[in-house]
Structure 1
Amino acid sequence: MKLQHYLGGLEGLPEPLHFEKRVFVEEWEKRIFGIHVAMMGLSNHLGSALPQYPIDEVPTTFKDEWTWASLRTGAEAMNPFDYFKFRYYEKWLGGITQFFIDQGYVTEDELRSRQEELAAAVAPSPPESAPAIDDQVIDYLRKGDSPRRDVAHPKFSVGDRVRITNVPAAAHTRLPGYLRSREGTVERVFEGDYAYFVHTGDGIGDPMPIYIVAFPPEELFGARAEDGPLTIYAELFEAYLEGVQ
């Protein structure tokens, strides 16, 4: 995971934060969100998800796996300068576009040609009707995608002191950089073991316990921590925790 994806605790960022409350600022952002949802609704991994979907019977040319992890991996692979230059859904668009190019669904020349057509205001051809595909995506929106789960097998209990690991990050991780090697206290143990969408290479993937860990600000930020009764909480997979002797 690159620097731009764990900015917690850093000072002196070049621009002030903007607390935009609208989900979609521009109309085109709704379409990007829709494309992402449709890809998740047609993803191969749904064949083994709960509830199961008859994904092999859906007549779609999309034959790959696409989850939230895929979207996040694409964003994390961006050049940091591009990451800060683009808007939120522009990053989504970049990741989705690169995925389609890498997987051979479209070439860069085809994409460039289509961009020129749109710039010239050429009306796009209406899409062919695909009711079976529409039905599958609608079914996915109603049922969702429950990750693989199991009954809880926690190694730690509420009140235990734990240290956050500093495992090397592969293409994608769910461990924020500013928590690495820090110590906290288990505040809550979730009711079951939960899997992540994919195996990230840093320990998560199969079902495992998830904890809420509490950190005092001075543990994370040292002398820069602000005074006051503040506590920082993080939800973390068990693979990211180790016991403190």
Structure 2
Amino acid sequence: MKLQHHLGGIENLGPVNTDTRVFVEPWEKRIFGIHTVMMAESVHLAEARHAYPVAQLPTTFGNTWTWASLRTGAEDMQPFEYFKYRYYEKWLGGIAQFFVDQGYITAQELAEKSAHYLRQPDAALPDKPNAALGAQIDAYLLNGDSGYNELDTAARFKVGDTVRIADPEAVDHTRLPGYLRSKKGTVDVVYPGAFSYFVSTGVDGIGQPMPVYRIAFDAADLWGPGKSEAHTTIYADLYEAYVDAVN
């Protein structure tokens, strides 16, 4: 994961935006909606715990699209480009590039459609309501796509254990925040069951289902007492692949 995706503890980055609104501009809701529809039509739902009629959906979408797909699209951005755009602009860039890469639309067609709506922002958008897709989206929003699994063996750690966070080889995508690497923490919760991620991260360690822990860190242990408020605890949910025993 490149620099721009885990900035915790890095100095001189300027003021933090504390705006609590989920959507700042109306168009951001549409980008979120596009992403949600893509996930609700994704072929990976055929293997979800909740039964979805993926093969019967009236759609031409035939790919897997998950949160991992969205994040990978943003992480592929050149860092200087990344900082130029708003949050949902990054989403739009990743989604648009995905459709071009998968052959749903050409780059030229995308440019032409974009130019059309820039010239005519009030022009009608395609509207093809479909009851079956609507029902699928509703079901997905209610049931999700997580894969809960029973543990074959006991979790390695228990509540109260002091652990050290791993420092695996850098890969294209990780679920380990950079500022937690090699830090000590305390197991606060051992979540029941086992969990996998949408894609394997390879040498990073996420693949087959495994336990997930909530680890507590003293903020001063992460960033130093001079850069942390006293008596502040940072919590992180981490896959077991990222958690090591303290030697």
Quick check: 2:164–2:184 contact (8 Å CA) kept in 1?
yes
**1:205 matched to which residue of 2?**
207
Q: Deviations over 1:183-234 (max 9, x none)?
A: 2221221122112122122111321111111222332223644362222221
Q: Deviations over 1:77-113 (max 9, x none)?
A: 1111121111111011011111111111111100011
- Percent of pairs with identical residues: 54
Deviation at 1:28, TM superposition (A): 0.7
- SS state at 2:179 partner: helix
Deviation at 1:127, TM superposition (A): 3.2
| Distance in 1 separating the partners of 2:129 and 2:25 | 27
**2:162 matched to which residue of 1?**
161
| Distance in 2 separating the partners of 1:123 and 1:3 | 39
Mark the CA change 1:217 to 1:141 in structure 2 (over 3 Å): closer, same or farther.
closer
- SS state at 1:193 partner: coil
Deviation at 1:129, TM superposition (A): 4.2
| Distance in 1 separating the partners of 2:70 and 2:102 | 14
User: Matches of residues 58-73 of structure 1 in structure 2 within 5 Å?
Assistant: 58-73=57-72
Q: TM-score, normalised by structure 2?
A: 0.92
User: Matches of residues 142-153 of structure 1 in structure 2 within 5 Å?
Assistant: 142-151=142-151, 153=154
Find out whether 1:10 has 2:29 as its counterpart: no
**1:123 matched to which residue of 2?**
123
| Distance in 1 separating the partners of 2:224 and 2:114 | 50
- SS state at 2:192 partner: strand
Q: TM-score, normalised by structure 1?
A: 0.92
Quick check: 1:40–1:67 contact (8 Å CA) kept in 2?
yes
| Distance in 2 separating the partners of 1:20 and 1:75 | 21
Which amino acid in 1 is paired with 2:154? H
- SS state at 1:242 partner: strand
Deviation at 1:12, TM superposition (A): 0.7
Q: Deviations over 1:17-50 (max 9, x none)?
A: 1111211111111110000000000001000001
Name structure 2 gaps, 5 residues minimum: none
Name structure 1 gaps, 5 residues minimum: none
Q: Deviations over 1:143-180 (max 9, x none)?
A: 22232422473101122221111112322111001111
**1:36 matched to which residue of 2?**
35
| Distance in 2 separating the partners of 1:124 and 1:169 | 45
| Distance in 2 separating the partners of 1:215 and 1:125 | 48
